[in-house]
Amino acid sequence: MGLSGVYGTADDAESARLLDQLLDLGVNFLDTADVYGDGHNERLISGLLAQRRDEVVLATKFGANKETGGGKPDYVRQAVDASLSRLGTDHIDLYYLHRLDKTTPIEETVGAMAELVETGKIKHIGLSEISAATLRRAHQVHPITAVQQEYSLFTRDPESELLPATRELGVSLVAYSPLGRGVLTFTSVSDVENLEARAKRYPRFEEESLQRNIELTRPLRERAEELGLTPAQLALAWLLAQGEDVLPIPGSRRLDRVEANIQAATTTLSPDLVAELSDRFPPGAAAGERYHPDGMSRLDR
């Protein structure tokens, strides 16, 4: 998402080089969506896929725009064809419903997605920002491979109901915004690029909340320094310690940060340290909601 100007200016040529280098570093899972840059992100990735499709596990999402009736079967079919065209490929490895369409039963949406599996346009079905109850209903129609949900030291909501359900059903949890949209890495408000735009989308970036949240991350920064890690590495290592079925997807426009994030995958934390961080960042600790009211109303909770 960050490669399509959401958090600040991104250069397509630099982004293309970054994507190519990711594969050389051993990263093979790319997670995009049709709504990122209104299709720009999928078109950007198409250049890499044209050269190295067999090396990529490709995920994309549809149905984020509430005006489209994004869960209706006819729209599901239209959306996948549009994504395949932008991506320049004949199949998507993991296809997510980005947001639940509350006007369409999940059984109908997943039924249409199951047809896409049968035709070979997609290999696996995913859901994003859904409740445990919705997951169970969907899974009865067709096996769900993954649920994408915001999950980090700052956002531990999945632990109460969703994560137990995914584990019961054998579903992976793909953790988006694993660094709290960057807040877990900031030392001051001046670190935040494109602050005004972020605050419009996310209440945790509004002035008072942001100040509180940056102060809240002080123990993470101090502990990371003691261990010779970056705060991002420590936050990602904590998330990876939650289980092999939890897959964080940190994003960055800079190769040096990507390389640092990758090192978190080889960082093993002691159970005591995992527990310490969990205690420092209990559920509900972050100041501000994840989204403004309109965004919150679209979450299936």
Residue positions annotated with a catalytic role: 36
Structure tokens at 278: 């969990």
Residue 29 sits at φ, ψ, to 5 deg, of -105, 115
At residue 186, the 3 state secondary structure works out as coil
Rounded to whole angstroms, the Cα distance separating 166 from 8 reads: 34
Axis-axis angle for helices 218-227, 271-280 (nearest 10): 160
Backbone angles phi, psi at 238, to 5 degrees: -60, -45
Helices in the chain by DSSP H: which ranges?
Answer: 12-24, 40-52, 73-87, 106-119, 132-141, 162-169, 195-201, 207-216, 218-227, 231-240, 255-263, 271-280, 293-297
Give the integer Cα–Cα distance in Å for 210 and 202.
Answer: 10
Cβ within 8 Å of residue 236, ≥6 positions away: 178, 179, 248, 250, 261, 264, 265, 267
- For the record, the structure tokens of 43 come out as 């078109």
DSSP codes joined into one string, 106-153: HHHHHHHHHHHHHHTSEEEEEEES--HHHHHHHHHHS---EEEEE-SS
Report the C-alpha gap between 256 and 60 in whole angstroms: 25
Q: Which of 156, 101, 103, 108 is nearest to 128 (CA)?
A: 101
The span from the CA of 178 to the CA of 15, in Å, is 21
